[in-house]
Structure 1
Amino acid sequence: MTKRAVAAATLAVAVGLPLAGTASAGPDDTPGTAGAATLTDTPEAARPAFYEPPATIPSTPGTIIRSEPAPLLLDPFNLSSSVVTATRIMYSSTDGEGTPIAVTGTVFVPKTPYVGASRRPFISYTAGTQGMGDSCAPSRQMESLVEYEGLGIARTVGRGYAVGVTDYQGLGTPGTHTYMMREAQGRASLDMARAVKNLEGSGMDAQTPIGLMGYSQGGGAAAAASELAASYAPELNIKGSAIGAPPADLAKVGANIDGTTYTLFALFATLGLATSEHIDPGTVFNAEGKELAGRVESACVFDLFSYANLDTSKYTVSGKKLGQLLTEEPFATAVGKQRIGKLKPNAPVQINHSIGDDVIPYGVGKQLGSDWCDKGTRVTFNAGVVPTHVGGMPGHIAKSMVFFEDRFAGRNQLSSCWRL
Structure 2
Amino acid sequence: MYTVFIVSKRSRVGRRVGVMVSAVAVVAATMSAVIGAPPASAAPSGPSGTVVSTEPLPARITVPGAVDAKRITYWTKGVHDAAALSSGAVYLPPGTPPKGGWPVIAWAHGTTGLADHCAYSIGGPVAVERDWEYLGSWMSRGYAVVASDYVGLGTPGNHPYLNGRVEAHSIVDSVKAARQVYPQLSRKWAVVGQSQGGGAAITTARYATQFGGKDLDYRGAVGTGVPAYIENLVAALGRPSPVRLGGFSPNTTIYVMYILSGLRTSFPEWNINSFLTPYGRYWVDKAETQCDSDNELGALVRSQKVDPGKLLSRPLSDIPGFQAKLTDYMGIPESGYDKPFFIGQGGLDTDVNTPGVLLLVSRLKANNQPVTFRFYPDKDHSGTVNASKVDSIPFVDKLFR
Whether TM-score is above 0.5 comes out as yes
Which of residues 404, 408, 413 is equivalent to 2:400?
A: 408
Q: TM-score, normalised by structure 2?
A: 0.81
In the alignment, structure 1 residue 266 sits paired with structure 2 residue 256: yes
In the alignment, structure 1 residue 288 sits paired with structure 2 residue 271: no
More strand, by proportion: 2
The residue aligned with 1:340 is: 332
Q: Which amino acid aligns with 1:68?
A: E
User: Higher relative contact order at CA 8 Å, sep ≥6: structure 1 or structure 2?
Assistant: 1
> Aligned equivalents of 1:366 and 1:144: distance in 2?
27
In the alignment, structure 1 residue 221 sits paired with structure 2 residue 208: no
In the alignment, structure 1 residue 179 sits paired with structure 2 residue 179: no
The residue aligned with 2:298 is: 304
Contact kept in structure 2, 1:62 and 1:191, CA below 8 Å = yes
Q: Which amino acid aligns with 2:50?
A: T
> Aligned equivalents of 2:176 and 2:298: distance in 1?
34
Contact kept in structure 1, 2:189 and 2:219, CA below 8 Å = yes
Contact kept in structure 1, 2:162 and 2:262, CA below 8 Å = yes
CA deviations on 1:198-255 (whole Å, 9 max, x unpaired) are 11x34124xx321110011001111111111233223221111011121132224554
Which of residues 181, 184, 187 is equivalent to 1:203?
A: 184
The residue aligned with 2:9 is: 37
Q: Which amino acid aligns with 1:35?
A: V
- Over the residues paired in the alignment, what is the CA RMSD in angstroms? 2.8
> Aligned equivalents of 1:178 and 1:327: distance in 2?
19
Percent identity reads: 23
Q: CA deviation at 1:332?
A: 2.8
Q: CA deviation at 1:314?
A: 2.3
* SS of residue in 2 equivalent to 1:256: coil
The residue aligned with 1:106 is: 89
Could you list the runs of 5+ residues in structure 2 that have no partner in the other structure?
18-33, 235-243
In the alignment, structure 1 residue 51 sits paired with structure 2 residue 39: yes
In the alignment, structure 1 residue 354 sits paired with structure 2 residue 346: yes
The residue aligned with 2:59 is: 72
Contact kept in structure 2, 1:126 and 1:219, CA below 8 Å = yes
Q: Which amino acid aligns with 1:384?
A: Y
Q: CA deviation at 1:136?
A: 0.7
1:360-371 maps to which residues of 2 (within 5 A)? 360-371=352-363
> Aligned equivalents of 2:318 and 2:230: distance in 1?
13
Contact kept in structure 2, 1:39 and 1:175, CA below 8 Å = no
> Aligned equivalents of 2:163 and 2:246: distance in 1?
18
Which of residues 219, 236, 259 is equivalent to 1:239?
A: 219
Q: Which amino acid aligns with 2:157?
A: G
Contact kept in structure 2, 1:213 and 1:243, CA below 8 Å = yes
Going from structure 1 to structure 2, the CA distance change for 1:39 and 1:240 (only over 3 Å counts) comes to: farther
Contact kept in structure 2, 1:213 and 1:222, CA below 8 Å = yes
1:186-197 maps to which residues of 2 (within 5 A)? 186-197=168-179
Contact kept in structure 2, 1:229 and 1:345, CA below 8 Å = no
> Aligned equivalents of 1:229 and 1:143: distance in 2?
24
Q: CA deviation at 1:110?
A: 1.7
The residue aligned with 1:18 is: none
Q: Which amino acid aligns with 1:85?
A: D
* SS of residue in 1 equivalent to 2:49: coil
> Aligned equivalents of 1:170 and 1:57: distance in 2?
15
Q: Which amino acid aligns with 1:87?
A: K
Q: CA deviation at 1:145?
A: 9.8
Q: TM-score, normalised by structure 1?
A: 0.78
CA deviations on 1:158-197 (whole Å, 9 max, x unpaired) are 2210110000011111222111111111111111111122
Going from structure 1 to structure 2, the CA distance change for 1:148 and 1:304 (only over 3 Å counts) comes to: farther
> Aligned equivalents of 2:233 and 2:110: distance in 1?
15
